[in-house]
Amino acid sequence: MSPHTDTDRIRMLNDELRKHLLGGGAVITAGIAELGPEAVERLVKTIAVFDDFHHANDPHEEHDFGAFDFDGTAVMFKIDYFDKSLNFHSPDPADPAATERIITIMRADEY
């Protein structure tokens, strides 16, 4: 099934990054790193299966944000779209040739 709109394409690319860490980069904050390597591995797996997208946290239907409780810690992830130089916003987030996706995983209190 091929995407029919830019939003469909963006969502598909974001899901690929979130689920498989393909098509972009990943960053964790110091607060996430402090949880330890085993917890980080479980957290990455939790984000890969996250599917609680709804209008309140995904108004553009791009699957670029999520927030949830992880072992008593409020955690968030956010996917941002940069140009290939990582200096500016992407000119076209639906085009992987023009976009570098970065998923950032952080504790909510680090936002």
Q: How far is CA 38 from CA 33, 34, 93, in A?
A: 10, 11, 32
Band of residue 111 on the pLDDT scale cut at 50, 70, 90:
confident
List all residues 6 or more positions away from 17 whose beta carbon is below 8 Å from its beta carbon.
23, 24, 26, 79, 101, 103
**Mean pLDDT, rounded, for 7-36:** 97
Report the share of the chain in percent with pLDDT over 90.
95
Q: Is the pLDDT of residue 97 over 60?
A: yes
Q: pTM for the complete prediction?
A: 0.93
Structure tokens at 18: 């979130």
The 10s digit of each residue's pLDDT in 24-73 is 999 999 999 999 999 999 999 999 999 999 999 999 999 999 999 999 99
Residue 107 pLDDT exceeds 90:
yes
**pLDDT at res. 3:** 66
Residue 64 CA to chain centroid, in angstroms? 5
Matching residue, tokens 């609680």: 52
Q: H helices within 50-97, ranges in order? A: none
pLDDT of 91 over the 90 cut: yes
Longest dimension (CA), the chain: 41
pLDDT at 108: 96
What is the C-alpha to C-alpha distance for residues 71 and 67, in angstroms, rounded to an integer? 13
